[in-house]
Amino acid sequence: MEAFKTLDGIAAPLNMINVDTDMIIPKQFLKTIHRTGLGKALFDEMRYNMDGSEKPDFVLNKPQYRKAQILVAGDNFGCGSSREHAPWALLDFGIRCVIAPSFADIFYNNCFKNGILPIKLPQSDVDKLMDDAERGANARVSIDLEKQEISGPDGGTIKFEIDAFRKQCLLNGWDDIGLTLQSEDKISAYEKDHKVQAPWI
- List CB contacts of 60: < 8 A, sequence separation 6 or more: 12, 42, 43, 47, 66, 68, 93
Task: Output the tens digit of pLDDT for each of the chain's 201 residues.
Answer: 999 999 999 999 999 999 999 999 999 898 888 888 999 999 999 999 999 999 999 999 999 999 999 999 999 999 998 889 999 999 999 999 999 999 999 999 999 999 999 999 999 999 999 999 998 877 899 999 999 999 998 889 999 999 999 999 999 999 866 666 666 677 666 677 767 777 776
Whether residue 178 lies inside any domain: the answer is no
Number of H helices, E strands in the chain: 8, 7
**Of 1, 118, 81, 91, whose CA–CA distance to 37 is shortest?**
91
Write the CATH number for 148. 3.20.19.10
Q: How high is the pLDDT of residue 30?
A: 86
Whether residue 112 lies inside any domain: the answer is yes
Whether residue 19 lies inside any domain: the answer is yes
**120, amino acid identity:** K
Q: By residue range, what is the domain housing residue 158?
A: 6-173
* Helix (H), strand (E) at residue 44: helix 44-47
Q: How high is the pLDDT of residue 182?
A: 67
* CA pair distance 138, 82, nearest whole angstrom: 34
Whether residue 199 lies inside any domain: the answer is no
Whether residue 117 lies inside any domain: the answer is yes
Rg of the chain in Å (alpha carbons):
19
- pTM given for the model: 0.89
Whether residue 52 lies inside any domain: the answer is yes
* CA pair distance 68, 94, nearest whole angstrom: 7
Whether residue 85 lies inside any domain: the answer is yes
Task: Please count the structural domains in the chain.
Answer: 1
Whether residue 195 lies inside any domain: the answer is no
